[in-house]
């Protein structure tokens, strides 16, 4: 009888340790992550944006400044950049979403949009994927992934210094 009681106590203690372990009580779980960001895509040499020179043709960067609402962040700003691709190829870049309180989410992405036809104003639709690689504040251990869809307005003038207005839609999941 005493042996059964000791075994029962050990079993209850083991179960309590399992339930209360850090893995079981961690706050990190997968949640929907989505939002809409409106802003402008700029094109120019890296140093104009605080980035290094791009050694590959066309020797420029595509830099996006946008703002909008993202789930779990509320109102936020977005800074994204990638070397400008020389044509119809996938672009790979990095970005930072910054919430109003300063907490940040770091995002790597790949995206594709058809190269615009010079002299023909158009709306260019692109798609891509993103991966959340960390952050600051409450997002310091953030991870996740999803899809990007975007539309940018091309004036038709490839040499224009004017930015291209656009809208970016992010849909995926985040854990933090």
Confirm whether 10 is domain-assigned. Answer: no
Residue 1 maps to a domain: no
Contact 170, 70 (CB under 8 A): yes
Residue ranges making up the domain that contains 94:
30-175
Walk along the chain (176 residues) in steps of 10 and give the mean pLDDT of each run.
Answer: 49 46 60 98 93 92 97 98 92 98 98 93 97 97 98 90 96 98
Report the pLDDT value the prediction gives residue 3, as an integer from 0 to 100: 52
21 within domain boundaries: no
Contacts of 123 (CB under 8 A, 6+ apart): 151, 152, 153, 154
Ramachandran category for residue 59: left, alpha or beta (phi over 0 → left; psi -120 to 50 → alpha): left
- pLDDT of 27 reads 56
38 belongs to a structural domain: yes
Residue 15, domain member (yes or no): no
CATH of the domain at 153: 2.40.350
Whether pTM exceeds 0.85: no
Q: What is the CA radius of gyration of the chain?
A: 23
The answer to whether position 14 is within a domain reads no
> Residue 166 has what pLDDT?
98
| Residue-wise DSSP of 11-43 | HHHHHHHHHTSHHHH-----EEEEEEEEEEEEE
Total number of domains in the chain: 1
Say if 82 falls within a structural domain: yes
Residue 115 lies inside a defined structural domain of this protein? yes
């Amino acid at each position: 009888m005493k042996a059964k009681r000791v075994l029962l106590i050990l079993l209850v203690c083991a179960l309590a340790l399992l339930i209360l372990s850090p893995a079981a009580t961690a706050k990190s779980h997968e949640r929907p992550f989505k939002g809409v960001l409106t802003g402008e895509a700029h094109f120019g040499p890296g140093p104009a944006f605080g980035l290094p020179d791009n050694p590959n043709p066309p020797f420029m960067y595509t830099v996006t400044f946008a703002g909008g609402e993202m789930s779990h962040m509320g109102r936020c700003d977005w800074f994204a950049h990638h070397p400008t691709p020389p044509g119809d190829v996938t672009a790979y870049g990095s970005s930072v979403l910054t919430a109003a309180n300063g907490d940040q989410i770091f995002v790597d992405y790949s995206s594709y949009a058809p190269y615009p036809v010079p002299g023909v104003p158009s709306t260019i639709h692109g798609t891509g994927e993103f991966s959340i690689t960390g952050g600051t504040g409450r997002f310091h251990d953030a991870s996740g992934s999803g899809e990007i869809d975007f539309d940018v307005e091309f004036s038709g003038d490839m040499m224009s210094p004017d930015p291209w207005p656009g809208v970016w839609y992010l849909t995926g999941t985040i854990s933090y």
